[in-house]
Structure 1
Amino acid sequence: MSVLKKIIVSFLVLILVASTLVGCGEKTPEANEASNPNNEEQQLEKIVVSELRSEFWLPVYLADELGYFKEEGLDVEFVTYKDGPLAFQGMHAGDSQFCMLSSEPVLRAYDQGKESKIILSTLTNKPYMFVTSPEIKSVKDLKGKVIFGGMPGSAPYSFVASILASEGLDPEADVTWANLEYGASLAALESGQIVGSYIRSTAKTEVAQMGGNILVDATIADSHKKLYGSDKYESTIVTVTKKYAEENPETVQKFTNAVVRAIIWQTENTDEEVARVATPVFPGKSYINAKLIEYLRSSLSVDGNISEEGHNTIIDFCLKEGLISSPIPYEDVIDTSFVKKSYQQFK
């Protein structure tokens, strides 16, 4: 073989070797996708949140819609229950890691030995109303009638029971409690199936349209103080089991980070924009609009925190209503360290 041919052959061999090395060291996008078709999803940590779907937990839903949970590395699934105590039982049974409900059932369960940690609040007070049909002019007119307040042990039930008791009626003997879904209460009131009901305060427009009579509106400061003794009642909360908080603090922090970011976002944006983002969370619910957000603004938390004053108010109410047998110290059920850490990072 001539010298020239040897040089050419050697040059071709070098090219072939280099091409092979490059091929081994780099994969095409198609090859990467084929080996890991769900790369992003596999990196997210799956968590389940048990809930009763309501605008009262608005920032949690916004965190999901705005993509904040995914940015924190979480894939969140919401599982909706009929009432708060049922959602709470689902969490303690291991069906979910987080639960959204009112704090009264959490405190009641703690009093019975079932320990949880409340990590944040989405509202600062109780945006509840008690609405009746037009012929009912006072609480005493409810004696012998059918009313609705959710299931026993729930916050709405305790709210209605306290109203009855304040006017001398026995909640167990003087009225009949209807078994309904929360979403069916207005229609039941309008049709005469019931004559009084707990209604969320954001439904004032619907109540006016049906001619309902608002006997008690807890969003009015004087009414709130009469019922609860304070302006603060931060009982619309997110909780985890004590065991989960101790074993998974990083996941709890990621969840809290996302919600705190959503609280900041909802505070800085208009009612129209907040309603636009929240609407997909409530399919078929035309009442999710700027007017609803306007009604809710005075109750929305701007920091997710739970004050000791608010906790003590809730404890006093639960003691008065017989939900718990003795006071529960703030630090035994509430852990605001996650919220504080989030605000250090994002505010």
Structure 2
Amino acid sequence: MRTSVKFTAAAASALLALTTLTACGGTGSQDAAAGGDNGKIKIMVGGLDKVIYLPARLTQQLGYFEDEGVHVTLLTEPAGVQATTSLLSGDVQGVVGFYDHTLDLQVKGKQVESVVQFAHAPGEVEVVSNKAAAGLTSPKDFKGKKLGVTGLGSSTDFLTKYLAVKNGVQTNEFTPVAVGAGQTFLSAMKQGSIDGGMTTDPTVAQVVDKNLGKVLIDMRTPEGSKEALGGPYPSSSLYMNTDWVNSHKDTVRKLAKAFVRTLKWMSTHTPEQIADKMPSDYAQGGKELYVQAIKDTLPMFTKDGVMPADGPATVERVLKSFNPNLKNASVDLKKTYTTEFVK
């Protein structure tokens, strides 16, 4: 039965991507290079049903892309690192994922920038299974543990490593396990293949509701982000190749306008009203639980899409604490984001 659940989740994700790609008339770097010139854009999301990336689908549901005259196809990958791969390979024009990838990519010689900043907190939660709870009470106890992340090299992986190093545990002293999110994460906790892990809503809400575990560290609010990471941590964003942005400014401006309009709409509507606009199958644990997941995550979002002033510096400090690629590298933070299109 457990194998069936995992296959179904993977198959559904693959089917969604395949269906959307077919509707677009195919992919490929040549097609992507032309994207935007005809108002057609492909955006890869690091998990369309994750509440941290809710503005992507909500903008589509509200009709704001069409209002701006851009025809957006949203694709989905289970983790942000996989979404980034799609951008670099030229299959899509943009990614809705974590801003921290722009710094990681810059030191690898790839110039990518955030053009709309959805959030000023990670929206991530470290949960611990009930079975492991007695021996895992803080990041100081990460040593020897198996900790779930959406994917190796993902933002959940980055943040888990930072919390470990900050609390005296080296990155080679615990085992990160790529378990995705949703049903695959829940199954991993249920089977005991992970002791805990970092995930987002609605998965967090289901972990607690099904009594599989409890919250260890909550970074869904600016306050929680500051306590765990020492400052605001800009996370969910729309990021794109800088060269593409510079050559398609009118299209990027329209996208930014649509997303900012959504962020403002979210700030003036209740979690119930937001949930009502979303596809019903996003409420995997039931409507009431989905509404609670949105309510718990809403504080992470900005209202204007603008990068918080001291946010990039926090991200750089966090990444440099454990990432050998960035540790001694010089990062030009001003090239990792722009406010030109949202202000």
Provide TM-score, normalisation by structure 1.
0.78
Hey, what's the Cα distance between the residues in 2 that align with 1:261 and 1:223? 26
Hey, what's the Cα distance between the residues in 2 that align with 1:145 and 1:330? 34
Relative distance call for 1:82 and 1:69 in structure 2 (3 A) is: same
Question: Is 2:74 aligned against 1:71?
Answer: no
Question: Is 2:178 aligned against 1:175?
Answer: no
SS at match of 1:101: strand
- Contact 1:119–1:335 (Cα < 8 Å) also in 2: yes
Partner of 1:196: 196
Q: Percent of pairs identical after alignment?
A: 22
Question: Is 2:137 aligned against 1:136?
Answer: no
The code of the aligned residue for 1:104 comes to D
Q: Which of 319, 336, 343 does residue 333 from structure 1 map onto?
A: 336
Hey, what's the Cα distance between the residues in 1 that align with 2:196 and 2:121? 22
Partner of 2:53: 57
- Contact 1:162–1:227 (Cα < 8 Å) also in 2: no
Hey, what's the Cα distance between the residues in 2 that align with 1:68 and 1:220? 27
Q: Which of 119, 136, 152 does residue 123 from structure 1 map onto?
A: 119
Structure 1 unmatched runs, 5+: 1-42, 341-347
- Contact 1:308–1:330 (Cα < 8 Å) also in 2: no
SS at match of 1:240: strand
Relative distance call for 1:318 and 1:200 in structure 2 (3 A) is: same
Partner of 1:152: 152
Partner of 1:96: 92
Hey, what's the Cα distance between the residues in 2 that align with 1:320 and 1:216? 19
Structure 2 unmatched runs, 5+: 1-36
What's the RMSD between the two structures over aligned residues? Answer: 2.3
Q: CA deviation at 1:201?
A: 5.3
Please give the per-residue CA displacement for 1:276-296, whole angstroms capped at 9, x wherever unaligned.
Answer: 102347375636732222112
Partner of 1:16: none
Hey, what's the Cα distance between the residues in 1 that align with 2:241 and 2:193? 38
| More divergent stretch after superposition (241-250 vs 263-272) | 263-272
Relative distance call for 1:283 and 1:158 in structure 2 (3 A) is: same
- Contact 1:44–1:70 (Cα < 8 Å) also in 2: no
The 5-angstrom pairing of residues 10-89 of structure 1 reads 45-53=39-47, 54-89=50-85
Hey, what's the Cα distance between the residues in 2 that align with 1:335 and 1:281? 34
Partner of 1:110: 106
Provide TM-score, normalisation by structure 2.
0.79
The code of the aligned residue for 1:154 comes to S
SS at match of 1:326: coil
Hey, what's the Cα distance between the residues in 1 that align with 2:336 and 2:151? 23
Hey, what's the Cα distance between the residues in 1 that align with 2:281 and 2:341? 25
Partner of 2:14: none
SS at match of 2:126: strand
**Structure 1 stretches of 4+ moved >6 Å:** none
Q: CA deviation at 1:166?
A: 2.8
Please give the per-residue CA displacement for 1:128-173, whole angstroms capped at 9, x wherever unaligned.
Answer: 111112233334544333221232321100111122223322222x
- Contact 1:151–1:157 (Cα < 8 Å) also in 2: yes
- Contact 2:117–2:238 (Cα < 8 Å) also in 1: yes
Question: Is 2:206 aligned against 1:206?
Answer: yes
SS at match of 1:73: coil
Relative distance call for 1:206 and 1:80 in structure 2 (3 A) is: same
Relative distance call for 1:223 and 1:297 in structure 2 (3 A) is: closer
| More divergent stretch after superposition (95-104 vs 184-193) | 184-193
